[in-house]
Amino acid sequence: MSTTKHVKTALTSMVVALGVVVPPAMAQSPEPPPITSYGGDPGRLGDPASWRTPEFNRDTGLVSIGAEFAYTAGYAGAGMNIGIVDSGFFAGHVREHGSLDTDYATGDRFFSVRAQGGETGLTPGFYDPAFNDSHGTHVSGTVAASRDGVGETQPDGPEANMHGVAFNSDVYLGNTHKTDGVFYGLLPPNATTVQTPDNAYLANVYRAVNTAKTANHRPIRLITSSWGSQPPTENYNTLEPTPGSPDGFGLNAAWRFLSTPDGVADPNGRTEHWLNGAIQVARTGTILQFTAGNSGYANPTPRGAAPYYLPDLEGRWYTTSGINPTVGSTFNADGSVLVPGQQEFNQCGVAKWSCVTAPSRSINSTWVDLVDGVPQPRYKAASGTSMAGPHSAAALALIMQRFPYLTNQQALYTMFTTGRQNSTISDAAGNAVPNPDAGRIVQVPDSRNGWHTPSLREAMKGPGQLLGPFRADTRGYSDVWSNDISDVAIRARGQEDAAEAAAWKATKAAKGWTHGLPAGASDIDKSDYATGTRREKARNARDHEGSLTKSGSGTLFLAGNDTWHGTSTVLGGTLSIVGSHAGPIDVRGGTLGGSGSVADGVDVAAGVLQPGVAPLEAAHEHVAPGNVLNVGGDVRIGREGRLAVAISGDSAYTSVRAAGDLVLHGNLHVDAGGTLTRGAVLTIMSGRSVSGTFHGLAEGGVVRADGHQFRVSYRNNRVTLTVTR
């Protein structure tokens, strides 16, 4: 079966023709499509710095997330559909919404999604000055404004031009029918019509974007939301109101309001609630991003914190806090970012396991000004987590493009576990203090930064950690994961879960909830109990160690120092260890190969153990060739298993070296070629001891392969083949 190949990050040459960046002929494949930009674009595959043009640098957020490393690997969002819910996009930004296909003369990558509901009639996704502001235009530009080299004709000239993170992607935008001033929580008594959301309509906007028919017939896999403002009736700095503060203060109170079930009147008298539409969409598997808010609280907004209250949303919903890339940032000698910046605005708080940070200060993007009442395209810098959210969402889209075989959740967790740490963390009192690990890859999310700032440099290399069981169905792709992959975060979460479980047990005892809620419990107690039991259920279901299951055709090469604690299982295709692997590996189908090391044992109950990486395969996949797979534990070949070795010379053959025992019951397959010397002894396996034999091959048995003949022996703790012909 043929295997589709990726463009690898190690490619170092390219062809530029009419603004199309094309990988070398050897690596051409249906995916990814070539990056398209303007003719003469200096960006080259394998040269990250070549992408840092003035247009690139005008969004200071691009270098902060390492966007150039996605582009240099061949990924700019082609084929990806990104959903946005915001205050419309101005269609007059034709060049920024266009593509090379039309020479940027039409906005052929930005699509309006129409929705209606509640008291709002059918509304397109386009900016309308009657009820919109520039917020959605700015956000959508950060996501996907084109890399056209010129930008719009406007008073500031081409010096204002910028491009979005995923500049080859398509955008599908649903309109809030409001400005960014609309409140998303408990309305104050004096709220104006402009500040009052149409809940039923907004819920339908999320549903409409999620089910929109796209130009390429592929799904919208993520929707980003930065719209709206915190009402003055709410405060998220604490979970419960502080003494003397209004009842609406505290994150828990804000969540109780926002999560009111449909059909039940909230304190504003509304019986339909927009958040329920968004939750419904997330439960279809689409990733939703909500920004964390701008007030400097210790927690994000309740919509950003939704996975804390509804743990089933983890892996489907996340929030984005901000960083100031001009404070605390440092750079490597090659111009790439080391420390992305300093966290600002609302912190990740209780949502830290579903939170990242991204650039949020003085972000230049597309804008619209009314000139004599007529909307005109402009560029403008703005600050806030509204600017951070589209950076992280578009980065996630590039990760999805890079790894088309990963699920949405797996792509999100790849972004989480490859984040680069910011300059500050919190001390025990919650104050910002210098981060001693600033610039390093995140290990465990913290309450200030969550998973810190996405790093596309690391994310292009695969996951940084396994957050529990990870089933990698490569679906015909062959790929290399070269990060050092651990499970340190999920093991740390096990300790957090234990502490939370003890606290919950004490709370239930103190409140008399050990056997359930008493009759006549208050609405607050009902909400708190529901949250506590949901979190208890999630804790009990969580696996606190990483494990990998490889399925589907194609080869997955593990090239890093992989230290997760769970078992790796091969069910289909090939898992090739070309780095180091700490845990045991079970083969239940497919093939285990490679020329690296496995510190624990290998059990081949079914499938194939095929050591080695051939030079041609190694060159194509940009991994090191080699003939020997080293195993630190036992190697067992079950009755349904098989060892396959390749021989091309007296000293050129593949083999397994084990520190433990060899237990043999399955078959032996030999692929022999080249010139062999009669009497040459080839050690294809070695270990502490050998028990059993290959099926049908007793001591001295004859193996014939490709015109050659060998005699097998199991003596002296080795399995040898002696050339007899």
pLDDT tens profile 324-358: 999 999 999 999 999 999 999 999 999 999 999 99
Domain 48-464 has CATH 3.40.50.200: yes
Burial of 561 (0-12, 13-18, 19+ CB in 10 A): middle
Residue whose C-alpha is closest to residue 670's, from 698, 701, 640, 706: 706
Instruction: Answer whether residue 6 shows pLDDT above 50.
Output: no
Per the CB < 8 A criterion, the answer to whether 364 and 391 are in contact is no
The catalytic position among 112, 386, 580, 655 is 386
Kindly tell me the sign of the dihedral angle through the C-alpha atoms of 178, 179, 181, 185: positive
Other beta carbons within 10 angstroms of residue 496's beta carbon come to 14
Instruction: Answer whether residue 19 shows pLDDT above 50.
Output: no
Q: State the pLDDT at residue 31.
A: 57
pLDDT band at 616 (very low <50, low <70, confident <90, very high): confident
Interval 222-255: pLDDT, tens: 999 999 999 999 999 999 999 999 999 999 999 9
pTM: 0.95
The catalytic position among 6, 37, 41, 86 is 86
Report the mean per-residue pLDDT for the chain. 94
Instruction: Answer whether residue 715 shows pLDDT above 70.
Output: yes
In the chain, domain spans: 48-464, 498-541, 547-723
The catalytic position among 135, 163, 273, 391 is 135
pLDDT band at 2 (very low <50, low <70, confident <90, very high): very low
pLDDT band at 154 (very low <50, low <70, confident <90, very high): confident
pLDDT band at 48 (very low <50, low <70, confident <90, very high): very high
Per the CB < 8 A criterion, the answer to whether 226 and 238 are in contact is no
Q: Is 273 a catalytic residue?
A: no
Interval 27-42: pLDDT, tens: 223 357 899 999 999 9
Compute the distance between CA of residue 295 and CA of residue 231 in angstroms, rounded to an integer: 11
Per the CB < 8 A criterion, the answer to whether 134 and 90 are in contact is yes
Residue whose C-alpha is closest to residue 655's, from 665, 666, 668: 668
Q: Is 135 a catalytic residue?
A: yes
Cβ-Cβ contacts under 8 Å for 389 (sequence gap 6 or more): 139, 224, 225, 226, 289, 290, 291, 320, 358
Helix axes 408-417, 385-402, angle to 10 degrees: 120
Instruction: Answer whether residue 9 shows pLDDT above 70.
Output: no
Q: Is 392 a catalytic residue?
A: no
Grouping H, G, I as helix, E, B as strand and the rest as coil, residue 100 is helix
Compute the distance between CA of residue 179 and CA of residue 58 in angstroms, rounded to an integer: 25
Mean pLDDT over residues 71-89, rounded?
98
Q: State the pLDDT at residue 7.
A: 33
